[in-house]
Amino acid sequence: MSVLTLALFIFTSQFMNLCHGAGIATYWGQHGDEGTLAAACSTGNYKYINIAFLTVFGSGRTPQLNLAGHCNPSDPGSCSWIGDDIAACQRQGIRVLLSLGGGLGTYSLSSPADAQQVADYLWDNFLGGNSNSRPFGNAVLDGIDFDIELGSGQNYDVLARALNRRSTAERKVYLSAAPQCPFPDAHLSDAINTGVFDYVWVQFYNNAPCQYANGNANQLISSWNTWTTVNAGQIFLGVPAAPGAASSGYIPPDDLKTQVLPNIRTSPKYGGVMLWSRFFDNEYSTAIKDSVNGGSRSRKSGSESGSGLHISIGGLPIIGNP
């Protein structure tokens, strides 16, 4: 391998890491006084937002959204304004996903056929399909997030594959998962092992064996290193955005920047930080944003701005898309 080729390889690897990582994700929808989705996006702090949650689905149930007073999903048209906010966020390069499950709800997948039926429902009502009952109107979400915390993990792998098959050259269906940090996750292990997930935001909180505690990040970092072995695109550090956001696992911003991020940013699969949640994020994302990006100024990749990023070195084109 020539020196030029080696240099180009190193540059390309580093460049693609920048395009693929360095972002903050959060969850919006579980507190009626957290502000609008558009307001969350306008902060400029987030790269991904999960709308939480679709709390009822599967096993013959009629799917139901729970958006904590933001709108009444059972009233046709009540949530259509969220569709306008979704479009506004996407124009800023922010990917918006619908999160399934959560810690409170009634959901399960009784069979592979049931999983396929739920996939069809999600496609028709939230993604690129057609339905007369789309809660967010004509807005097309970027993908689906799996925050499965109840019941068994059966058939979520089938659901993930079914959604992944809906991706086309024109529009990809992004898939994310929010497992608990004990490895492997009791509910999402089979799904994540399919290898079709783009983002895995691991919840490093409410779990003493694998979270930050009393100024010590060793258990968290050890668990992080295990999670980076999974077959997924990018891994995110999931943390509470305030002490009251979780029963344990809160990391003060300065400790996150000095004790944790320097030890995980070197991972090729590092994608950034996930914060629970928008309601609790009182300047936490602002405090950590530059450090999430490796201490540099915030970057926006070409694909985020909708144009694609094209660089040529010595006549060789390099195209970066997250």
Residues recognised as catalytic: 149
Give dist(CA 278, CA 1) in Å, integer.
48
Which burial class, exposed, middle or buried, applies to 164 when counting CB atoms under 10 A from its CB (0-12, 13-18, 19+)?
A: buried
Tokens of 219: 């258990």
Q: How far is CA 166 from CA 97, 306, 308, in A?
A: 15, 21, 22
Tokens of 27: 């969850």
CA–chain centroid gap for 98, Å, is 10
Residues sharing a CB contact under 8 Å with residue 300, sequence separation 6 or more, in sequence order: 93
Which burial class, exposed, middle or buried, applies to 194 when counting CB atoms under 10 A from its CB (0-12, 13-18, 19+)?
A: middle
**Start-to-end CA span in the chain (Å):** 27
